[in-house]
Amino acid sequence: MPKDGGIGASTVRREDIRFLTGKGRYTADINLRGQAYACFLRSEVAHGRINRIDTAEARAMPGVLAVMTGADFAAMGGNPAGWHIPSRNGEAMKEPKRPVLAHGKVRHVGDAYAVVVAETLEQARDAAGAVVADITELPAVVDMAQAVANPDLRVHDEIANNVCFDWGWIEDNRAAVDAAFKTAPHVTTLELVNNRLVPNAMEPRASIGDYDPGTGDYKLYTTSQNPHLSRLLISAFVMGIPENKLTVIAPDVGGGFGSKIYHYGEEAAVLAASRALNRPVKWVADRSESFLSDAHGRDHVTRIELATDLEGNFLALRTETLANVGAYLSNFATATPTFLHGTLMAGPYRTPLVYVNVKAVFTNTAPVDAYRGAGRPEATFSIERVVDKMCRELKLDPVAVRRKNLIQPDQYPYTTPVGLVYDTGNYPATLDKLIEIADFSGFEARRAESARRGKLRGLGLSTWIEACGIAPSNLVGVLGARVGLYDAATVRVNATGNISVMTGAHSHGQGHETVFAQIVSDKLGIPASSIDIVHGDTSKIPFGMGSYGSRSLAVGGSAMVKAVDKIIAKGKKIAAHMLEAAEGDIVFEDGKFSVTGTDKSKTFGEIAFSAYVPHNYPLESLEPGLEETAFYDPANFTYPAGAYACEVEVDAETGRVEVVGFACADDFGNVMNPMIVNGQVHGGVAQGIGQALLEAAAYDDNGQLLTGSYMDYAMPRADDLPMFTVDHSCNTPCTHNPLGVKGCGEAGAIGSPPAVVNAVIDALHRGGHTHVTHIDMPLTPSRVWSAIQN
């Protein structure tokens, strides 16, 4: 049993109180004295040469304070790519400058080229309408195949064929993989599209720049998942503001899903405008701007081949992928289709030979970067679809085939042919659990019942793994990362015994304020109500890398536990002095330091007080105070895994698919708060079902975004989804972090899309439509109906 409010308890969230009463403080809710308002001008064409931007009329409009264009930022640095991915021939990747505001050319619809700042938002908007931009439209390249094939179409004049890199993983294994395919008894081939998505956090991006002319300090309030990363990028690469003169504050943030990891040009623009005007400058995106300018996700075109024997044993797997990076490289755009995708191509299976080729392609579309799952959903979708297709070709049971190819529990640590070392897991156990909770044995009766109502019912499966808890710095450094990926925490015990924990992780829906307090409470034996979690403000927290890649608990939480351990270690020294005992004889349990074998003890509060009022204290050997900071750099990735099942009903007359059941058996390692973990899975699965059935960011041939609002982009709504069945009882604790945790934030979005598509194909086959071998996502009624009609 978990301690009351400690590790493992489904404690309700403390942050809910402010969110439920309208007292949340999101960036758009912040108004600073004297603030002005910014409105950005964005390209209406996908590709164009900027001949002239006439701002004279706009400058003369009422309330206008400044109009800045790309020329005003031309001398500044560019927003850099965080990873260098070399091509397989050794060539460096192509890194065109990504300026604060477009200068010379605009390269996608929504590319910002000017900003108007005025006394009121209405005045800024009115004046934006008076800016006259003379832009010559150039041919746009939108389709990736065309981008790499047509030498006359260039997003960046200096990059032929629009290829950022041509990456092979692992290049040395290629010959062996190819040889295995030549002799394989059976090869299954599948060409598929992993559809482009818009992350659509419900809070649109917003930023307020606040320059203080008295001190020369800059403050940026912004919708960020990792304020220190934004500060580093702005300071070291874009604007050159010394880090110690820039504070970045990410207050309450209304969801991120990856889209708020990155530094965006608007942040630099409002800082520069604030510096120029000596007053705060605020910008809040409207939803249309979000659709056009937030980093999009996915957008792969993949050919995958699976070599097997006739019994369905996997012999080799190879893929060729075109990955869209859009018009400019967003901060993690190069890592997402490579080290977060290619390295996962073994999945949970013992496939002995794997080779992955990825070409990253520039197009005249919004930048594409990590979106919930980031590379791993793409890998999982490709693998799980080709496995299902193979099962149909060889008339094998998809459960039995998966079961016999899974890595077995006695094979850890398991080194994959794509460079990862899985530390622990039990994939057969989660598969067995899934079969139980999804009631596979009752499926036939449910199918017959659906058939009586004229519906085709199908059952789809996926068994998946991900690598998260990003990441061991020395390893990712070798692979091309340009930052470390540790995290940090400071535990400050105050003189009166209550505690402030400053974490480098950032909460934008995950509930850190509750869960992190549970953990510290459990470790220190003091009530969670005496513990505050502080995050999101670079002037308060230690240098951390924020939250993405399901890393908050595995990395940030581990740093916090290390800092707590240091507090306990120091507390033992203080207690030994006060209790006149040897340090080795002091034990700490349930908030009390005791001399082993005696009834002598000091409470945590007494030790804290003594640290700050050190009258009876070993000052000659120990500093006063009780505050510790720890940095934690993980020894390995963590490897959450699981098995998902989706049940659908298909109306063959209309092609409409309804998800009627969804079950998840996950292994997240130790679970700190089951209620919150379940909620994370629900949300991830909803996004995965959205990808599979509803969502697509569609551009026309001219690069116009056709799905630029909620009128056109189908977000999952309450009546599109069923209740979910979620289980995480089959857990194998992570072997290399102190909490034994693996991370749960992305799982749902990774494991679910192939389960949905496999279920639809299964329904069609059971209904006799056996000619349908694949349908590209999203499986809209028209696509399903067309597939049925052939």
Partner 1 sequence: MTNVTMTVNGKAVSGDVEGRTLLSSFLREGLGLTGTHVGCDTSQCGACVVHVDGKPVKSCTVFALDVAGAAVKTIEGMANADGSLGVIQQAFQDHHGLQCGFCTPGMVMSAAALLADNPKPTESEVRHYLEGNICRCTGYHNIVKAVLAASGQDVAAVAAE
Handedness of CA 334, 339, 342, 344 (dihedral sign): negative
Angle in degrees, CA 143, 149, 151, rounded to 5 = 110
CB 758, min distance to partner 1, A: 20
Distances (CA, A) of 526 to 5, 313, 697, 740: 10, 53, 49, 22
Closest Cα to residue 292, out of 705, 712, 716, 739?
705
Burial class (CB in 10 A: 0-12, 13-18, 19+), 689: buried
Q: Where are the alpha helices (DSSP H) in 540-629?
A: 558-578, 604-612
CA distance 752 to 383: 13
Instruction: Give 22 or 584: the residue with its C-beta nearer to partner 1.
Output: 22
CB 34, min distance to partner 1, A: 15
Instruction: Give 535 or 562: the residue with its C-beta nearer to partner 1.
Output: 535
Instruction: Give 550 or 678: the residue with its C-beta nearer to partner 1.
Output: 678
Q: Where are the alpha helices (DSSP H) in 140-294?
A: 144-149, 174-183, 227-233, 265-277, 287-293
Instruction: Give 22 or 597: the residue with its C-beta nearer to partner 1.
Output: 22
Instruction: Give 610 or 673: the residue with its C-beta nearer to partner 1.
Output: 673
CB 535, min distance to partner 1, A: 14
Instruction: Give 287 or 403: the residue with its C-beta nearer to partner 1.
Output: 287
Instruction: Give 10 or 786: the residue with its C-beta nearer to partner 1.
Output: 10
Q: Are the C-beta atoms of residues 734 and 424 closer than 8 Å to each other? A: yes
CB 748, min distance to partner 1, A: 8
Taken as a whole, the chain contains a residue count of: 790
Instruction: Give 16 or 309: the residue with its C-beta nearer to partner 1.
Output: 16
Instruction: Give 17 or 421: the residue with its C-beta nearer to partner 1.
Output: 17
Instruction: Give 275 or 508: the residue with its C-beta nearer to partner 1.
Output: 508
Instruction: Give 200 or 594: the residue with its C-beta nearer to partner 1.
Output: 200
CB 686, min distance to partner 1, A: 3
CB 662, min distance to partner 1, A: 9
Angle in degrees, CA 185, 775, 457, rounded to 5 = 95
CB 21, min distance to partner 1, A: 6
CB 681, min distance to partner 1, A: 8
CB 711, min distance to partner 1, A: 5
Instruction: Give 18 or 540: the residue with its C-beta nearer to partner 1.
Output: 18
CA distance 363 to 159: 11
Closest Cα to residue 777, out of 688, 704, 716?
688
Instruction: Give 590 or 712: the residue with its C-beta nearer to partner 1.
Output: 712
Place of tokens 């809910």: 16
Angle in degrees, CA 199, 205, 209, rounded to 5 = 155
Instruction: Give 116 or 493: the residue with its C-beta nearer to partner 1.
Output: 116
Task: Write out the residues near partner 1 by the rule CB under 8 A.
Answer: 12-13, 15-26, 28-29, 31, 122, 200-204, 252-255, 257, 286-288, 437, 508-511, 675-676, 678-679, 682-687, 709-711, 715-719, 721, 723-727, 748
CA distance 495 to 613: 8
- Beta bridge mates, 406: 349
Q: Containing H/E element for 367?
A: none
CB 721, min distance to partner 1, A: 6
SS (H, E, C) 399-414: HHHHHHHECCHHHCCE
Closest Cα to residue 208, out of 217, 196, 219?
219
Angle in degrees, CA 388, 469, 685, rounded to 5 = 45
CB 486, min distance to partner 1, A: 26
User: Which DSSP state fits 373?
Assistant: T
Residue 81: strand, helix, or coil = coil
Q: List CB contacts of 2: < 8 A, sequence separation 6 or more.
A: 8, 9, 522
Handedness of CA 509, 514, 516, 519 (dihedral sign): negative
- Transcribe 611-624 into DSSP letters: HHS-SSS-TTTS-S
CB 257, min distance to partner 1, A: 7
Instruction: Give 19 or 612: the residue with its C-beta nearer to partner 1.
Output: 19
CB 220, min distance to partner 1, A: 20
Distances (CA, A) of 403 to 315, 350, 465: 15, 11, 14
CB 279, min distance to partner 1, A: 17
List strand residue ranges (DSSP E) for 97-151, in order: 105-106, 112-118, 132-137
CB 205, min distance to partner 1, A: 12
- Give me the torsion for CA of 338, 343, 347, 349, rounded to 10°: 150
Closest Cα to residue 174, out of 355, 29, 415?
355
